[in-house]
Structures are given as structure tokens and as C-alpha cells.
Amino acid sequence: MGAQSVQLDYLTWNEQYSVGVPLIDDQHKELFDRVNTLIALIRNRPTYYDTTTSREEMLELLAAFRSYADFHFSAEEQEMEKIECKDLDTQKELHADYVRDIDLFIGDIKKGEEIIASEVLAMLIDWLSNHVLEDDQKAFKHA
Ligand SMILES: [Fe+2]
């Protein structure tokens, strides 16, 4: 495969994404930063299809992302309880789904399957925008 250039824009958090809880906004910013680290990794290596050489690096970043996401979701669920969020059960299910999605990718990489880094990223970006822009807005602002 030739040099395949992956054009990815870095994610920038802005006030419109605020859920009105500073602790949660800060954690969302951290999630953005972590996705940006992955974007940087792929930008620096346009031919990231060769996952065998970079598998460990990718695995490490994804594992760290997963553990931060876990931490964030627990903190978030506590905040949702405080405001008596009425769809807390749904939110918990969504959180579990997100973690499972990451685990699937981690599992694939561990099994030695060929993964395309830009697909992993697309999943994470999708994940993050659904979570921050839709689920959390709904949970915190329309609780
Ligand atoms: Fe969140």
C-alpha cells in the first residue's frame, strides 16, 4: 500500500459543549486531548495501516483512553445522581456500550487482526461527539 495520507482535524472543545458542570467539562476536555493524541499519532504516520509495527503504541493509547473513559463515566453517573437525572439508567447503558466498543477494538488489536487506525479514530470521534454533544447535553441540561 502506498503512502496514504490521513487528513484529520484536531478536535477543539468549545463553550457550546459545556454541560454546565465544570468537573464534567474538564473531563470532556481531557477526552478531547486524548483523541487528539491519537490523531497526532496517525498524522505522523500516514501509512498507519502497517499496524504490526505500531500495535503496541496504539494498544497503549486505547487502553489509557478506555480507563479514563471508565473514570469519567463513574464521575458523571455520580453527578447525574446528584441532579436526579431522569434517564440515568439509559445513560449508564450508553456508557457501558461505549466502553464495550473500545474493548472490541482493543480485543481485535490483541488478537493480531489488521486494524485501520483511521477507523479506530472515526469510531472514537463519533463516540465522543455523540456522548458530549447529545447524551450529556440531554442528561445535564434537560434533566
Ligand atoms: Fe461525559
Distance 132 CA to ligand 1 centre (A): 5
pLDDT digits over 29-86, tens only? Answer: 999 999 998 888 777 665 555 545 577 888 888 899 999 999 999 999 999 999 999 8
Average pLDDT, the chain: 85
What are the extents of the domains in the chain?
20-141
What's the CATH code, domain 20-141?
A: 1.20.120.50
Please tell me the least confidently modeled range out of 14-28, 31-45, 109-123.
Answer: 109-123
The rounded Å distance from CA 74 to ligand 1 centre is: 10
At 117, is the pLDDT very low, low, confident or very high (cuts 50, 70, 90)? Answer: confident
Whole-number Cα distances in Å, 84 to 2, 46, 81, 143: 53, 46, 5, 7
* pLDDT score of 2: 42
CA–CA distances in Å: residue 73 to residues 29, 86, 116, 134: 14, 16, 27, 15
CA 6 from chain centre, in angstroms, equals 19
Question: Ligand 1 being an ion, which residues bring their Cβ within 5 A of it?
Answer: 76, 136
From ligand 1's centre to the CA of 84, what distance in Å? 16
Quote the pTM value: 0.86
| C-alpha 124 – ligand 1 centre gap (Å) | 13
Q: How far is the CA of 115 from the centre of ligand 1 (A)?
A: 26
